[in-house]
Amino acid sequence: MMQVSERTIEDVREALRHEPISAYPDFVAAVSAALDDRETLPVELDGVADAIAYGKGVWRSCSGCHETNEGVPLGPYSSILKCHLGGGCFECGGVGAIWDTTDYEEMGRFLSGEALATSPASSGVEGERCPICAEAFKPTDLCASDIEMGTCHAACLEGSPVVDLETGEPSDGPISTYRFDEDAPAAPTAIDSIATEGPWQWWAGSTEEWCTVGPEASREAIIQAAINDCLGEGEDDVGAWTLNFHIVEARQDPLRLADWIESDRLIERAEDNVADSDRAAGEYDDGPFFRVAPEIEKDLEERIKRACDEWQLANGLTFTCRTFSHTRNDEDVVVDHPNATSEGPVDV
């Protein structure tokens, strides 16, 4: 009996193109007989040749239909595919096993390298690796600190921008370096880079409630500025014209947005927004919708504060308000009016 394959059938088709129609029945009968007598392969071997042609791999139990009971497979074991078979599903096409071409050794190497590259750095620990090149630190390696990644090889940070931590502005200075076996300086953070303290300056006002003159660098300078402005002019008890004003040394610290973020108020606002929206069902859907443990809420607050710091620093933003954050050395000052005459003060 002739052996039938796709090549055989193609040969038959080609031959029929050159034969008279009367020869067709003989060819059809021969092919049909061969197909009827062909050995039927086990279902597990359907498509095996095609699967292997795509590259190296192994047959494994189909995750979509393979069942176990306390770790013991429930399906039969196939001596052909060398694995237990599932009940058959769309994923495996009913076979119960799939052809797996995953390179697990390469995957393991990749995941191992990724874990090393992303592990948090802590200075001076034996076996620690640089988060940039993933190479282990040696005691004598020259290191530097990155604002986000911590301790790195100084060479890996070569060419990186240097930032003045006091002002947040770019600096022309070199990166500070140290040996790995020495105590590393504290890693800078976004919070450290945002200016949160203003200078002490002198101010003056006709009352202590509102200062309209200033700022000046010294007490003498603010008194002279107040005199020049004729601040608080008036008559004393004996009719002499004087200047009577209040001076104070004060700070106007910049505002750090993150200091004014509270997670409980954010969640409360979100709760109200959901309750007022079409998502809530009304009578039987009144929340709370975002209930979390206190430590999870604290984590949210810390993440939002870090995001605020990074945003404020990246955009070089400085926020202020007109009130003083700190005061000291306040006093009332009374001086003779510099432009006083017997008829009162005159403009000069």
Residue 190, pLDDT above cutoff 50: no
Q: Which of 159, 188, 217 is the endpoint of a domain?
A: 188
In a domain, 111, yes or no: no
Q: What does the pLDDT look like over 279-335, one tens digit per residue?
A: 776 666 777 888 888 888 888 888 888 888 888 888 888 888 888 989 999 999 999
Q: Do both 230 and 262 map to the same domain?
A: no
Q: What does the pLDDT look like over 5-32, one tens digit per residue?
A: 555 556 666 666 666 666 667 766 766 6
Provide the domain count of the chain: 5
In a domain, 112, yes or no: no
Q: Do both 242 and 339 map to the same domain?
A: yes
Q: Do both 171 and 206 map to the same domain?
A: no
| Burial (CB count <10 Å: 0-12, 13-18, 19+), residue 22 | exposed
Distance in angstroms (rounded) separating the CA atoms of residues 76 and 89: 15
CB atoms within 10 A of CB 210: 10
Distance in angstroms (rounded) separating the CA atoms of residues 98 and 60: 6
Distance in angstroms (rounded) separating the CA atoms of residues 81 and 95: 10
CB-CB contact of 202 with 247 (8 Å): yes
Q: Do both 29 and 123 map to the same domain?
A: no
Torsions phi, psi for 21 (to 5 deg)? -60, -30
**What's the pTM?**
0.40
Which of 124, 257, 115, 251 has its CA nearest to residue 181? 124
Domain residues for the domain of 88 are: 43-100
In a domain, 195, yes or no: no
CB-CB contact of 30 with 52 (8 Å): no
| Burial (CB count <10 Å: 0-12, 13-18, 19+), residue 203 | buried
In a domain, 155, yes or no: yes
Q: Do both 130 and 172 map to the same domain?
A: yes
Q: Do both 235 and 270 map to the same domain?
A: no
In a domain, 247, yes or no: yes
CB-CB contact of 61 with 84 (8 Å): yes
Q: What does the pLDDT look like over 139-148, one tens digit per residue?
A: 888 888 876 6
Q: Do both 133 and 171 map to the same domain?
A: yes
Buried b (16+ CB within 10 A) or exposed e, 103-142: eeeeeeeeeeeeebeeeebebeeeebbbbbeeeebeeebe
How confident is the model at residue 241, as a pLDDT?
Answer: 86
Average pLDDT, the chain: 76
Q: Do both 261 and 233 map to the same domain?
A: no
Residue 178, pLDDT above cutoff 50: yes
In a domain, 319, yes or no: no
